[in-house]
Amino acid sequence: MTAKAQALYQELWKRAASGQNVELQLNDEAEVARVRFKLYNATKAARKGQGDPALQQAVADCQLLHTATTITISRLDKDPLLLKLAAQAGVRLEELGAPAPQTSEAMELEESQKKLLSTFAEVGRTAPPTKYFTRD
């Protein structure tokens, strides 16, 4: 694949990530298979976490769908089937993947752990020995 062709395929992924549905009309199933392979091949490094961060995000946020003569690249959060399933389950897609809010007890425990770790790090010592474990 030439550099220009690879850049074109990568640009299609980025456009889909920006919110535009990219729909490619092709002649037959064989051409769909070739283009689909090239679209995935152009993003191989991004799927491994290497290269352009915008392309990595585009690959993570988008999906590739195909029929006999059409390839569509669209954002996952705009997928009609996904939206329908979320509505039936009563789930808001915006909330998925976000970290759960911490309770006050969990926040206090985390703060206490940080304080203990910093205390031992400042003094340069390890945990005190116990009758079950001592360092020689």
Helix count and strand count (H, E) for the chain: 6, 3
Question: What are 29-38's pLDDT values in tens digits?
Answer: 999 999 999 9
Q: Would the pTM of this model clear 0.75, i.e. be above it? A: no
DSSP 42-81: TTHHHHTT-S-HHHHHHHHHEEEEE-SSEEEEEEGGG-HH
Mean pLDDT of 100-109: 69
Domain boundaries in the chain?
A: 3-77
